[in-house]
Amino acid sequence: MLTKNIDLSNKRILVTGAAGFIGANLVMELVKRYPGCKVLGIDNVNNYYDVQIKEYRLDCIAEVVQDDDQFELVRGSIADRELIDRVFTEFRPEVVVNLAAQAGVRYSIENPDAYIESNIIGFYNILEACRHNPVEHFVYASSSSVYGANKKIPYSVEDKVDNPVSLYAATKKSNELLAHSYSKLYGIPSTGLRFFTVYGPAGRPDMAYFGFTNKLLKGETIKIFNFGNCKRDFTFVDDIVEGVISVMQVAPAENENGARYKVYNIGNNDPVNLLDFVDILQQELISAGVLPEDYDFEAHKELVPMQPGDVEVTYADVTALQEDFGFRPDTPLREGLRSFAKWYKEYYRI
């Protein structure tokens, strides 16, 4: 295991995407665990999905913040260079976690501009700010999407990732390349995290489990792609946050290329067939009282071909994460979906 070289207590921590699913959960854990730390969040709170859920997450953060100095939110875009420069100059973050990004594989086909603006220009702005305002550690979100059309499974961080099948995946691969070059040139300690299908309470409504629930509740038909033959490595949000916090405390040593740079997978290491996934989901929705006991699930599902930009399997090899940090995600899918179903019932007052 690696030795921790950053104590997060009393640190100034910048979290971009702080109203996002992972960002909000990360902020809450940081302020709960490290009372002396100061967290500054940046989020443009855009309407890619229901803004009310983002505001709900911000309310959840407010409930756990004990001191006004612990957390502050700046509403703005990381693509705004002037804003980012001002934030770095005034706040002087010691640790930066970049989670702000335009997410979603399918939406990248419809609206590529949003991905270039946030995931490329915004990411570049953060790197430039870290260059001119040196930080102890720069941690950023990559994605399992970078593995693209790779056939070898499980996906290892040692694998080549030169075959992206969506613009979203290409932007995330670009982030890794940019971070490596900035680490090599300017000595920025950087760690990229490839997240695998994150789910849980107050998650993103554009994700399958959330969208399926919305449709089933309305009596609509859900489409299961690739005729149900896809597998996903579903990872509960609490496990993701635990992984991020573990990584934040270890700035990487110089590698053989002279860069202080690492990349890790954070996934559950247990891919689940989509048909099995939706079966567990509907069972937990019935158990939580979101759907009626006699719900005819078979009448509300449709098996359809693969969507452009999708891949058949995601499967994380988390050996490096486990060896370096003694941690691996392990929340069972049923347990995680049960938490989501209970939250959904309460949030939507069903």
Strand, helix or coil at 194?
A: strand
CB-based burial of residue 184 (10 Å sphere; 0-12 exposed, 13-18 middle, 19+ buried)? middle
| Contact (CB, 8 A) for 282 and 204 | no
Told to judge if 315 belongs to the known catalytic residues of this protein, a careful annotator would answer no
Burial 76-91 (b: 16+ CB within 10 A, else e): bbbbbeebbeebbeeb
Alpha carbons 28 and 241: distance in angstroms, whole number: 10
| Contact (CB, 8 A) for 182 and 188 | yes
Alpha carbons 66 and 289: distance in angstroms, whole number: 34
Angle at alpha carbon of residue 16, lines to 13 and 19, rounded to 5°: 110
Catalytic residue among 34, 49, 168, 264: 168
Active site residues: 168
